[in-house]
C-alpha cells in the first residue's frame, strides 16, 4: 500500500542512521590521527542529512523551505570560517 | 454601513493590550520606541553638555561611561533596530501586499511584549546604577572586572532579541504566503523587499548576539574563562561573536530606511523608480555581504592581518550595492516632476547624508586609515551620519509619508518642512565637526579632552541642541493633527500601492474586498498632481 | 475525513496556512542553528587552541552512555516521523500511540543524561570550585571542555523538555480528536522541532564523546 511504502522508507532510514552510529563509534577506536575528529563530524553530517531529507521531508518541500534550511548551515559556516580563519592565521 | 476604522474598533484598554491587529501593534511599538528615543537622547544631551569644556566638570568619569553605554544600548537595541520594521513594517506590510494581517498575529503581539520585557530589564539596569562597558560589552571587562549591572542589561537585550527574531520570522512567512492574487515577487514594492532582506538578517544574526551575551553572563556568574585571558580564555572570541551580529545589525537599521526612500522618491517625483530589479537585488546583496565584513571592527584588536585583509576587501564590496541604490534614486529624480513635501525633504536629506556616511565607511574599510582613526570621533561621526542622517531621517520620512494612512489626519506640511530642515542643519552641525575631531586625534568615550579641541566640541554641542529642537517640533504638530488636522482621504499623496486603496485609517480587516493585482509598482506618469 | 475548521484569518485557505506554518518553523529552526552554532564556534575555537587538553578531557565522558543515548534519540526520530505520517492520514489512534513512544524514548534520553550528569559531578567534573582533574597542567582547559559540555548538552536537554511538553499537548489533542480535526500540520511542525533537536545531538555526540586521545 502507498502508506506502508512510505513507512518502510522511514524504517530503512532509521536502520541507516543506527549503522552510521555504529560506524562512527567503531572509527573512534581506529588511530586516524589528526583526521579522527573530521571523520567523526563527516559521519555526523551524513546522519544529519538523512534526518533532514527523509524525516524532516526536505525531499518534498518547496524551494523556500529548502533555502531556509540551507541558509542556516551556510550562515553558521560563515561564522565559523571567518572566526577560525582569524584564529588559525594569527602568529 | 462603513466598517469602523481600526482605531475605533474597540476602545477598552484590553482591546489595545491584547490586540492581534498588526496596525494597533505598530502603534504600541511607536509609543515604546519614542519613549526609548528620548531616554537615549537625554543621555546624549548630558554627554554633549559634559563635552562643552575640556576638563570634566559636569559628571564624573564613571558616570560618563554609564551615559555613553546607556545612549548606545537604548538607541541601538531599543530604538533603531525596531524602529522602521516594528512600527512602519508592522503597520504597512500587510496593507502593502493586500493581506488582512501578518501570518502569525499572536506571535506579533508576543513580540511587542518581549520588547517591553527587555526594555524593562534594560531600564532596571540603568535605574539600579547603570552599566559602564559601552554598548559593545567587550570582555573581559564586561565578564569579569566591571562592577555594574551587566547581567541585568544583558538579560534585557537578550529578551528584546527574541522580539526581533519573531518579528523577522513573521515578516518572512507573511511575504512568502500572504501576497494578494497577482502580486508576484517582481511586482512587490521595494519597501517589502527591504523588509524581507532585513528579516533575513534578524533571523540569521540575532541568535548569535543572544548567545554571546549569555556567555558573558555565565562568565560573570561562574568565573569560567571563555573570554578571560587570565584563565586561558580569548577576548577576541567575544568580539567575533558580538560583531557577527552587530555589524549586520547596522544593515537592519539602514535597509528599511532605504526601502522607505524608495517609496517616497517615485511618489514625489511622479516617476517610476529607475532600476527596480537592481534596487531589490541590492537589498539582498547588502544582507548577504553585510555578514562577511564584521572583522572590520577588529582591525586593531589583535586579529590576524590575513583576516583583516579579507574583511577589508569585503567591506569595500558591500559599498557597491549601496552605491547602486543611490545612483538609481538619483536617476529616478532626474527629469522627474519634483514636489518638495515633508517626506521628500527627509528622503533627499537621507541621500546626501547617507552618501557621506557611506563614503567615510569606505575610508574606514582601508586598514591603514582605520588604524589611525579607530576609537576616535571619526568613527562616531561616520556611524551617526548613517544611523541618524540616514536611518532616522528615513524613519521620519516614513512617518510623515504614512501618517495620513495611519491616523486619517493631515499634518501641517509647513511645520513638517521646517522641522526637516532644522534636523538637517542641526545634524550636520553636530556631527561634521566630529569627523575633524577624530581625524585630529580626539578619542571616543572620554569625558575630557585636550583644550585645542574645544571649539569643535562647542560647535557640535550647539548642533545637538538644534537637532534636539528639530526632533521635538514634530511631536507638537503631529499630536496637533490628531485633533485638528484635516481629515485625509484614502490617497492624499495620489500614490500607487495597495495601502492607498483602502480607507484612512483602514478598517480592522484592512480591505473590504481582496485586492487583485495586475501590474507592477510605481505606475507614476509624470503628471501634475494636486495632493490633498 | 472532514475539516472541522476552515483556515483561520488572515489565511484564506488551509494549504496557504500549512505552507506558512512550515516556513515559519523552518525559519525558527534556522535561528536555532545560529543559536547553538555560536556555541559550536566556541567549542571549535577552544579545541583548536587546547587540542591535547580536549582530547584528554574527552576521554572522561562515558562513550557507552553517549552512544546509547544517541541510539535512543535516533529511534525517537523514527517514531516521531511515523507519528507525523499517521497524523497526515488522519489516523489519530496511531498518532497517539506513536507520540507516546516518542515521549518514552525522549524521557529515557533525559533520564540517562541525568545519570551521566550525576556521575560527572560525583567525579569532580562539574566546572567551578569543586572541579578536580589529573594531570593538573591540563586542568584549566579541561574545565573549559566540561563547561562547554554542561552548557551545550544542558541547553539541548532544555530543548528536549520543551519538546516533550509540546508532544504531550499534541498527544492530548490526538486522544480527543477522533478524526474530526486535522492534526497533520500541528504534528508536522512539532516533528520538525523534534528532528532538529536530534540533529543537534548528532553533532554533540562526536564533539563530546568521540574526541579522545590515542
Determine the residue of chain A that is closest to B169 in CA distance: A68
Nearest Cα to Cα of residue B494 among B325, B339, B296: B339
Residue B513 clears pLDDT 90, i.e. is over it: no
Residue C134 clears pLDDT 90, i.e. is over it: no
pLDDT, tens only, B353-367: 999 999 999 999 999
d(CA B332, CA C80): 55
Average the pLDDT over A45-74 and give the result.
Answer: 92
Nearest Cα to Cα of residue A46 among A17, A26, A18, A8: A17
Pair A51, A40 in one domain: yes
Residue entry with cell 542553528: C33
Q: How confident is the model at residue C1 (pLDDT cuts 50, 70, 90)?
A: very low
A7, C85: Cβ pair inside 8 Å?
A: yes
Pair A38, A79 in one domain: no
C74, A76: Cβ pair inside 8 Å?
A: no
Pair A49, A5 in one domain: yes
At the topology level, CATH places domain B29-500 in Cytochrome C Oxidase; Chain A (1.20.210)
Pair A45, A67 in one domain: no
Average the pLDDT over B323-342 and give the result.
Answer: 96
Pair A52, A65 in one domain: no
Pair A45, A31 in one domain: yes
Residue C2 clears pLDDT 70, i.e. is over it: no
| Number of structural domains in chain A | 2
C34, A62: Cβ pair inside 8 Å?
A: no
Pair A29, A66 in one domain: no
**Where exactly are the structural domains of chain C?**
14-210
Residue B388 clears pLDDT 50, i.e. is over it: yes
Q: What is the per-residue pLDDT for B204?
A: 97
Q: Which residue has the higher pLDDT, A5 or B422?
A: B422
Q: What is the per-residue pLDDT for B479?
A: 97
* Under 8 Å between Cβ of B376 and B438: yes
Distance from CA of C23 to the nearest CA of B (A): 6
Considering only CB atoms, A18 lies closest to which of C71, C192, C205, namely C71
CA C157 to chain centre: 7
Contacts of B197 in chain A (CB under 8 A): none
* Under 8 Å between Cβ of B102 and C10: yes
Q: Where are the alpha helices (DSSP H) in B51-104?
A: 61-75, 81-82, 90-96
CA geometry: angle B403, B407, B411, nearest 5 deg: 55
Pair A42, A65 in one domain: no
**ipTM of the modeled complex:** 0.94
Pair A21, A65 in one domain: no
C89, A75: Cβ pair inside 8 Å?
A: no
Q: At what angle do helices C14-49 and B150-177 cross, to 10 degrees?
A: 140
Considering only CB atoms, B307 lies closest to which of A75, A79, A89, namely A89
Q: How far is CA C128 from CA B225, B334, C115, in A?
A: 11, 67, 20
DSSP letter, residue B96: H
Pair A43, A6 in one domain: yes
Question: What are the cell numbers at B316?
Answer: 569595500
Nearest Cα to Cα of residue B337 among B526, B532, B531: B526
Task: Report chain B's C-alpha Rg in angstroms.
Answer: 23
At the topology level, CATH places domain C14-210 in 1.20.120
Q: What is the per-residue pLDDT for C64?
A: 94
Neighbors of chain B by Cβ distance (3+ pairs < 8 Å): A, C
Q: What is the per-residue pLDDT for C179?
A: 67
A82, B292: Cβ pair inside 8 Å?
A: yes
Q: What is the per-residue pLDDT for C4?
A: 44
Neighbors of chain A by Cβ distance (3+ pairs < 8 Å): B, C
* Under 8 Å between Cβ of B59 and B97: no
Pair A9, A49 in one domain: yes
d(CA C134, CA C155): 27
Question: What are the cell numbers at A32?
Answer: 586516524
Considering only CB atoms, C143 lies closest to which of B101, B174, B224, namely B224
Pair A8, A34 in one domain: yes
Residues of the domain holding A72: 61-91
Nearest Cα to Cα of residue A75 among B329, B387, B408, B288: B288
- Please state the pTM of the whole predicted model: 0.96
Partner C contacted by A69 (CB < 8 A): yes
d(CA B346, CA B357): 16
Q: How confident is the model at residue A4 (pLDDT cuts 50, 70, 90)?
A: low
Provide the 3-class DSSP secondary structure of residue B525. strand
Query: Mean pLDDT in chain B?
Result: 96
Could you tell me what percent of chain B has a pLDDT over 70?
Answer: 100
d(CA A69, CA C31): 10
Q: How confident is the model at residue C5 (pLDDT cuts 50, 70, 90)?
A: low
Q: Which residue has the higher pLDDT, A63 or B414?
A: B414
Residue A1 clears pLDDT 70, i.e. is over it: no
pLDDT, tens only, C85-125: 999 998 999 999 999 999 999 999 999 999 999 999 999 99
Amino acid at each position: 500500500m502507498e502508506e506502508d511504502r512510505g513507512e518502510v522508507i522511514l524504517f530503512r532510514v532509521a536502520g541507516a542512521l543506527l549503522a552510521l552510529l555504529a560506524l562512527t563509534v567503531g572509527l573512534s577506536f581506529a588511530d586516524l590521527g589528526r583526521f579522527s575528529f573530521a571523520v567523526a563530524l563527516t559521519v555526523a553530517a551524513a546522519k544529519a542529512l538523512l534526518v533532514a531529507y527523509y524525516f524532516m521531508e526536505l525531499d518534498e518541500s518547496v524551494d523556500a523551505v529548502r533555502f531556509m534550511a540551507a541558509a542556516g548551515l551556510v550562515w553558521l559556516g560563515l561564522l565559523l570560517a571567518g572566526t577560525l580563519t582569524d584564529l588559525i592565521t594569527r602568529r | 454601513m462603513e466598517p469602523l476604522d481600526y482605531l475605533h474598533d474597540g476602545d477598552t484598554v484590553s482591546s489595545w493590550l491584547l490586540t492581534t491587529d498588526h496596525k494597533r501593534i505598530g502603534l504600541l511599538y511607536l509609543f515604546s520606541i519614542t519613549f526609548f528615543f528620548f531616554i537615549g537622547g537625554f543621555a546624549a544631551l548630558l554627554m554633549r553638555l559634559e563635552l562643552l569644556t575640556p576638563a570634566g566638570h559636569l559628571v564624573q568619569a564613571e558616570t560618563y561611561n554609564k551615559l555613553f553605554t546607556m545612549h548606545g544600548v537604548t538607541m541601538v537595541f531599543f530604538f533603531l533596530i525596531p524602529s522602521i520594521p516594528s512600527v512602519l513594517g508592522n503597520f504597512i506590510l500587510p496593507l502593502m501586499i493586500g493581506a488582512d494581517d501578518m501570518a502569525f498575529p499572536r506571535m506579533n503581539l508576543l513580540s511587542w511584549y518581549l520588547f517591553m520585557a527587555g526594555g524593562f530589564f534594560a531600564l532596571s539596569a540603568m535605574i539600579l546604577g547603570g552599566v559602564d562597558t559601552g554598548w559593545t560589552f567587550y570582555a573581559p571587562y564586561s565578564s569579569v572586572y566591571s562592577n555594574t549591572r551587566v547581567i541585568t542589561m544583558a538579560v534585557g537585550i537578550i529578551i528584546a532579541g527574541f522580539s526581533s527574531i519573531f518579528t523577522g520570522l513573521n515578516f518572512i512567512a507573511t511575504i512568502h504566503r500572504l501576497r494578494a492574487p497577482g502580486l508576484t515577487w517582481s511586482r512587490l514594492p521595494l519597501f517589502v523587499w527591504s523588509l524581507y532582506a532585513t528579516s533575513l538578517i534578524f533571523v540569521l544574526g540575532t541568535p548569535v548576539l543572544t548567545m554571546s551575551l549569555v556567555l558573558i553572563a555565565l562568565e560573570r556568574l561562574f568565573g569560567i574563562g571563555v573570554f578571560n585571558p587570565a584563565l586561558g580564555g580569548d577576548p577576541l572570541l567575544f568580539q567575533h561573536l558580538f560583531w557577527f551580529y552587530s555589524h549586520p545589525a547596522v544593515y537592519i537599521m539602514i535597509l528599511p530606511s532605504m526601502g522607505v526612500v524608495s517609496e517616497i522618491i517615485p511618489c514625489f517625483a511622479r516617476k517610476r523608480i529607475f532600476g527596480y530589479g537592481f534596487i531589490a537585488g541590492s537589498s539582498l546583496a547588502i544582507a548577504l555581504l553585510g555578514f562577511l565584513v564584521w572583522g572590520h571592527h577588529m582591525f586593531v584588536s589583535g586579529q590576524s592581518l590575513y583576516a583583516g585583509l579579507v574583511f577589508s576587501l569585503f567591506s569595500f564590496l558591500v559599498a557597491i550595492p549601496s552605491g547602486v541604490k543611490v545612483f538609481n534614486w538619483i536617476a529616478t529624480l532626474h527629469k522627474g516632476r519634483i514636489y518638495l513635501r515633508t517626506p521628500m525633504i527627509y528622503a533627499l536629506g537621507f541621500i546626501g547624508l547617507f552618501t557621506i556616511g557611506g563614503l567615510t565607511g569606505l575610508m574606514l574599510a582601508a586598514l591603514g586609515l582605520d588604524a589611525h582613526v579607530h576609537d576616535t570621533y571619526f568613527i562616531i561621526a561616520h556611524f551617526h551620519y548613517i544611523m541618524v542622517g540616514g536611518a532616522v531621517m528615513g524613519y521620519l520620512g516614513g512617518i510623515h509619508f504614512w501618517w495620513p494612512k495611519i491616523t486619517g489626519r493631515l499634518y501641517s506640511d509647513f511645520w513638517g518642512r521646517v522641522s526637516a530642515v532644522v534636523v538637517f542643519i542641526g545634524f550636520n552641525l553636530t556631527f561634521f565637526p566630529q569627523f575633524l575631531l577624530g581625524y585630529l586625534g580626539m578619542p571616543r568615550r572620554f569625558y575630557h579632552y585636550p583644550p585645542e579641541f574645544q571649539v569643535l566640541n562647542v560647535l557640535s554641542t550647539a548642533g545637538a541642541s538644534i537637532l534636539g529642537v528639530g526632533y521635538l517640533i514634530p511631536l507638537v504638530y503631529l499630536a496637533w493633527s490628531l485633533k485638528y488636522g484635516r481629515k485625509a482621504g484614502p490617497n492624499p499623496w495620489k500614490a500607487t500601492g495597495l495601502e492607498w486603496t483602502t480607507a484612512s485609517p483602514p478598517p480592522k480587516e484592512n480591505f473590504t474586498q481582496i485586492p487583485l493585482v495586475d501590474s507592477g509598482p510605481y505606475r507614476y506618469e509624470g503628471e501634475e498632481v494636486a495632493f490633498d | 475525513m472532514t475539516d472541522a475548521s476552515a483556515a483561520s484569518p488572515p489565511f484564506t485557505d488551509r494549504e496557504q496556512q500549512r505552507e506558512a506554518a512550515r516556513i515559519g518553523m523552518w525559519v525558527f529552526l534556522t535561528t536555532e542553528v545560529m543559536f547553538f552554532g555560536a556555541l559550536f564556534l566556541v567549542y571549535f575555537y577552544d579545541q583548536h587552541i587546547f587540542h591535547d587538553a580536549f582530547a584528554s578531557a574527552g576521554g572522561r565522558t562515558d562513550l557507552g552512555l553517549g552512544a546509547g543515548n544517541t541510539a535512543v534519540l535516533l529511534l525517537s526520530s523514527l517514531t516521531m516521523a511515523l507519528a507525523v505520517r499517521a497524523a497526515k492520514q488522519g489516523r489519530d489512534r496511531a498518532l497517539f500511540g506513536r507520540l507516546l513512544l516518542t515521549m518514552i524514548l525522549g524521557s529515557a534520553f533525559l533520564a540517562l543524561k541525568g545519570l551521566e550528569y550525576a556521575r560527572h559531578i560525583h567525579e569532580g567534573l562539574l566546572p567551578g570550585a569543586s572541579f578536580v582533574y589529573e594531570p593538573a597542567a591540563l586542568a584549566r582547559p579541561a574545565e573549559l571542555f566540561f563547561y562547554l559540555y554542561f552548557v551545550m548538552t544542558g541547553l539541548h536537554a532544555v530543548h528536549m523538555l520543551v519538546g516533550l511538553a509540546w508532544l504531550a499537548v499534541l498527544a492530548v489533542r490526538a486522544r480527543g480528536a477522533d478524526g474530526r480535526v486535522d492534526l497533520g500540520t500541528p504534528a508536522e511542525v512539532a516533528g520538525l522541532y523534534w528532528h532538529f533537536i536530534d540533529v543537534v545531538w548528532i553533532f554533540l555526540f562526536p564533539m563530546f564523546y568521540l574526541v579522545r586521545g590515542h
